[in-house]
Chain A
Amino acid sequence: MLVARTTRPRAVALPVAALTALFALLAAQPVDAQSGSRSGTRTAARSAQQDSSAAAKTPRDRATVSTFGTKLSDHEAAALLVEMRHLVEQALAASRAAEQASSVAEVKAAADKVFTAVWGIPSGVNGERPAEVQVLGWKERFQVSGEEFDQRWVARYGSKPPQITDPRKLGIQGRGLAVRARLEQIADSTSGRPAAAREAASKALASLNNVIGWVHITRGYKGREAQPRASLTHVWDMPAQFWNSTADTGWLFEVYSQATNILKTDYAGDVAEARKHAADMTALLQKLLTGLDADRNGTIEPKAMEGGLDAALAQAALAGLPVK
């Protein structure tokens, strides 16, 4: 099922020739979309020739600095990926139930379940009254301690490890970050895996990134001081459609936003409106599972802006992860 685009801006109107070229490029290349290794900065839309040239000349290392998930075995990564799907299914069930809820409180309880599925922590909102939701701190969200950055920076802000480091306690998003690290290792040209497996891993990465977002934690510089930087520059040459889509920052955040909205709205007893919002949440959850046919060619492909969690699972299996 294709889910109608809902939130981010409409498709842009590039010249036809440019559109054709861009989509051809996206379709033709393995949509690895993610840094292939800790030392390279390959991008989804770039050709192999471009990749090797760019990797050699890129002045600074912009790959993720988090080691989160890098020690996962294939089995562990596969299990996390499957758990992600289970969490989405549970969230879907809760959301669908909320569409038939008899009270606003029930809808909000469902939204809390969805929220918890996303982050691994409850929203903190109870009952019908609206309230602000809890959020994870930056270390939990990116799984860094601070040691990854400049010592002058560490001297000011410390380097305590994140309070939660188990991906199973970090919801869909945390699991996704961990799995991504493993898929990056498999997709890397030095992984020793067969080319087909590496290509499948790249496609799985693209689909997974559509779900959890393409953002990396890297080093940014204030003067010469290396600081944390949540970055998308590694996919800098993606076409305008990518930036106007919601895939760049991840469809999961649409779900999170919808759950948060429901929790923070004062429905004043208007359960019908709350149900409608729950239905929208269901549709968003469904989209991140199935993906969408962004280029309208009749198929949902495992590439940027199209593949969802199901595509990630399928490609991960082809890459050699024991997905069951």
Chain B
Amino acid sequence: MNTWQRFLSALPAALLLAGCAGARGGVIPSDPYAPVQGRTLVLFDGTSLDGWRQIGPGRFVLQPDGSIVSEGGMGLLYYTERRFRDFVLELEYKTESPGANSGIFVRFPEHSDDPWYAVNHGYEIQIDDRGDPLHRTGAIYNFSPAPRLASRRPGEWNHYRIVVTGQRYVVYLNGEKVNDFIGNRGREGFIGLQNHDVDSRVYFRNIRVTPLDVKDAPESLADLFAVREQRAPIRVLVITATHGFRHTDAIETIKQVLPELERTTEFDFDITEELSVLTPENLARYDVLFFANSTLRAEPTEKTDSAVKATRTENVANPVTLAQQKAILDFVRGGKGLAVAHAGLDAFYGWDGYREMVGGGLFEKHPWTQGVRIVVEEKSNPAVSHLGDGFWIRDEIYVLDQNPRWNSRVLLSLDMRSVGVDVGNADDSRDDYPISWIRHYGSGRVFVTKLGHFGDVWRNPDFLQHLLQGLRIAAGRLPAEFAGRRVKETIVRDVWPDDLAVDEKGNVWIAELTGRILRYDAATKQAEVIAEIPTTDPTNIEHGVYGIEVDPNFYQGEPYVYIYYAEPESFVNKLSRFTYRDGKLDMSSETVLLRVPTEPSCCHQAGDLEWGPDGTLFISTGDTGQSSVRPEDELTAEQIQQFQERYKLKGYHWSRLADSERTAQNLQDLRGKVLRINKDGSIPKDNPFYGKPGVRWEIWAYGLRNPYRIKYDSETRRLFIGIVGPDENTTYDWYDVSERGGENFGWPRATGRLFYNEWRPDMIPGYVPPIWEYTYKTGTRSATFGPIYRSDGPYAFPSQFQGKLFVFDWSRKWIKYGDLVNGVFESDTAASVRTDGRQFVLPAKRLANLKTFDVLRETSPISMELGPDGCLYLAEFDGFWRPGPQKKANVSRYCWVRDPDPSVGPEVTVGAGGEATAVRP
């Protein structure tokens, strides 16, 4: 049987392993609260300390509530009746103060009168919220750090669940896994509680143990990852040589751990610091080349950037030569594997081939060296399938200079909630940090993980499982879905698009603010002007053609195009239906479906069109307000002061946007609203205000300033409304969601969740808060919604994008995507916004669960639609009242191309004058 045959015969077992992480640790329940089979022993029932013995100074005192509390110290209370071998220990504890110190000792093997005996011969699961990661609550004291502090505030009970099998110690605190450690001390012993000092009062209760009868409990890392069945060997050349920073602790651990694992797995690791091994002949002996924290430098060429030369390659005596570079690229391109861990990304600056091979980005900085939460994005991938939805780890997180997401399959990414926004990179366009990814390079496979800064990480079972499975994927021994890549192409130039619609055949209908209507034909890839709508000069007032939609039954006998525009002279905004006939819009066919009177003044016309349920049409309208937020130019300081004194509003956010009251809060006016009508212009009887006397029944939602772009999700029946907010340092742009209709989103009495003057939420009828607001403080902004991405088209984006909401900002030029958590865009807002009972007093900051899709450079996103092919179509605007002088405006699209090799040209063909280009993240 040759190697390949051996591999094939081993494949089912490999697949089995892929779904059974840490096979020998499988006794550990995935649900930390799940009952464990076995006979549970109650060590302390709340009434008696029978069977327990106090040693050393201090004591534990029984409390009337069935708990015990530590006093004085340092001493130890331990259960003397029996030793425990494999078991689950559960208990509850609470402290009286943040600095209270205590611990739970397990497996100290002998009776002793000395409390230090347990410290030196067992393991202590620490209680001390003020300690460093190695000595804080959740840590295996002195041995294994807790990546995060999962304890509750002093005075609140905490639940510890400590699972001890073989030499594996897994610790859950309040349902979160906070430690996973392979030890080497005694296999059985006593259980005890520490009374640390006189200032540390810690309560315990409900102490119980369930002994386990575990076969093949892991006695070591090698044991934990042992492969029982026969597999073809995977030969890995591990490079730990460094030119840059040397992660000594990690590298020394690598040199210890990988040989251990080699004993029980199919891996053959050759670990070396010698770069001369990087020859074609030698590399041919291996399946995978593994750069493990190898901060290597590449020999520069004449083309190498001078700054890179100066900062990265100078004084490097033996850089990786050009010949070696070629050998490495050829090795991978030829069908072998490359694995890169942590500082392997702090390497090879100036060598474009390596940069491309690892996904495009190299180390830029490491703002976060701390416990972080990692999100599992590709839950079915065997390298991460053991990690559930996510996990915590203490590590150093790199920020790369480019995002690999757009040409890779991201397996793990950083949960921004775990690092906050005031730490590290506060650039709101840098919110996406993949942690691990795989990709093809030529015929080879690349596995990258950013983890592995600390030595203890390389002994962490979760990390090692991730690494070993990643190496198997890189070796081609485990199947995995690899990346496609995002391709962006311009499909229409010489256009000044304001809004667009994509029909079911992929034809794109484009409206220009100044009146031209164009149609991009998906078959011919040509765009032609099909109408010129007589409208107004938008200069300084924002009027013109606002929105365009195509009838959903366009190809079923209703060839209608719907256009919302300002009628010149009267300045009545009209929604009209036109018939498309013989390649043009028949202007004589115009049927006016809705008239919204307005005035020729600046600004906030909005005007987006969106198909709703049952063939109805949503129209967003702006408040057409000209109010400034603080109209001091009209009112004297004395007037304002008198007003504030009258209402006891000193120190409150001040505004009196009376002009917008007449529109946004006026239910007899169609402005500052989302409206909903039938296709023939009549009023749907299921509109929220239908039948209410004296209210315009077209109104769907109100209290809106400039709802420039809206999107309806037919699956969840929710309408998403992006609100462009006022230009004031204390104000916001925000995003609203209408679930049933009839909502009042508060403008001009509130901006986001910031309420002006005397207004409170309960004073605003029907008030519904936004799902996210963001501040003006970091620059201008204009919050707008793109589509809710759901597609199985030929160019559909991967699963990470399915169901995601797209948002974009015309001012800041970014496009982001994310999803709602508990009905909102979860952000640090929840933690940072405080209320004094009448208003919110701190601004929202940056989102945690929105990731940047792209940031435009020369243009601004102004309209975004999902095409039937899965591509995202984008109207890119430039200029303001008129096209920018460079005429960069265009219509483009983003598609996901599934060819495996980035060197292969895009499958997406291009329109006249356009060319497909892979987007640099």
Contact = CB atoms under 8 A, between A and B. Distances in A.
Interface in A224-280: 225, 227-233, 235-238, 240, 243-244, 246, 248-250, 253-258, 260-261, 264-266, 277, 280
A132 B633 contact: no
B592 interface: yes
A248 B657 CA distance: 13
Contact of A240 (B572, B669, B758): B758
A132 B765 contact: no
B731 interface: no
Nearest to A252: B668
Interface in B596-631: 597-603, 626-627, 631
A58 to B, nearest CB: 7
Given A54-B636, A235-B658, A249-B668, A240 B540 contact: no
B635 to A, nearest CB: 7
Contact of B597 (A18, A58, A138, A236): A138
B540 A227 contact: yes
Given A53-B638, A138-B599, A249 B570 contact: no
Contacts of A142: 599
A81 interface: no
A67 interface: no
B693 A284 contact: yes
Interface in B805-855: none
Nearest to A266: B682
A222 B697 contact: no
Given A229-B599, A230-B659, A249-B668, A244 B694 contact: no
A253 B668 contact: yes
A21 B666 CA distance: 26
A253 to B, nearest CB: 4
A135 B694 contact: no
B647 interface: yes
A10 interface: yes
Interface stretch (A152-160, A191-199, A289-297): A152-160
A254 B694 CA distance: 4
A244 B636 contact: no
B597 A60 contact: no
A248 B656 CA distance: 14
B571 interface: yes
A48 interface: no
A13 B763 contact: yes
Interface stretch (A1-9, A108-116, A175-183, A303-311): A1-9
Interface string A129-166: 01111111111011000000000010011101000000
A156 B537 contact: yes
B572 A137 contact: yes
A298 interface: no
A138 B634 contact: no
A50 interface: yes
A221 B647 CA distance: 29
Contact of A244 (B668, B692, B765): B765
Contacts of B571: 137-138
Nearest to B749: A243
A133 B659 contact: no
Nearest to B685: A265
B883 to A, nearest CB: 17
Nearest to B627: A233
A249 B666 contact: yes
A221 B601 CA distance: 9
Contacts of A135: 570, 572, 595, 597
Contact of A60 (B541, B633, B666, B682): B633
Question: Most B CB atoms within 10 A — which of A10, A18, A229, A283?
Answer: A229
Interface in B666-695: 666-669, 678, 680-683, 685, 691-695
A215 interface: yes
Given A7-B668, A258-B694, A230 B599 contact: yes
A122 interface: no
Interface string A65-76: 000000000000
How many of chain A's residues touch chain B, expressed as a range? 35 or more
B593 interface: yes
A59 B634 contact: yes
A237 B646 CA distance: 10
B540 A225 contact: yes
A248 B541 CA distance: 25
Nearest to B536: A157
B32 interface: no
Contacts of A256: 668
A133 B670 CA distance: 13
Interface string B747-780: 0010000000011001111100000000000000
A236 B631 contact: yes
**Residue among B541, B626, B627, B694 with most chain A CB within 10 A:** B694
B302 interface: no
A284 B603 CA distance: 32
Contact of A265 (B593, B602, B682): B682
Contacts of B152: none
A222 B680 contact: no
A18 B759 CA distance: 13
A283 B693 contact: yes
B97 to A, nearest CB: 40
Contacts of A246: 666-668, 694
Contact of B765 (A10, A213, A238, A264): A10
Given A7-B692, A58-B635, A227-B540, A249 B626 contact: no
B648 to A, nearest CB: 8
A138 B597 CA distance: 7
B665 interface: yes
Contacts of B65: none
A223 B683 CA distance: 39
A48 to B, nearest CB: 13
Interface string A1-28: 0000011111011100010010000000
A57 interface: yes
A62 interface: yes
A316 interface: no
B634 A58 contact: yes
Interface of B: 536-537, 539-541, 569-572, 592-595, 597-603, 626-627, 631, 633-636, 638-639, 642-643, 646-648, 656, 658-659, 661-662, 665-669, 678, 680-683, 685, 691-698, 744, 749, 758-759, 762-766
9 contacts: A54-B635, A57-B639, A136-B570, A138-B597, A227-B540, A229-B601, A233-B631, A248-B661, A265-B685
Given A18-B648, A248-B661, A249-B669, 13 more contacts: A7-B693, A10-B765, A59-B636, A60-B633, A221-B626, A227-B602, A232-B659, A232-B661, A244-B763, A255-B694, A257-B668, A264-B683, A280-B693
The 5 closest A-B pairs by CB, nearest first: A9-B765, A137-B570, A254-B694, A280-B693, A253-B668
Interface of A: 6-10, 12-14, 18, 21, 41, 50, 53-54, 57-60, 62, 130-139, 141-142, 153, 156-158, 160, 213, 215, 220-223, 225, 227-233, 235-238, 240, 243-244, 246, 248-250, 253-258, 260-261, 264-266, 277, 280-281, 283-284
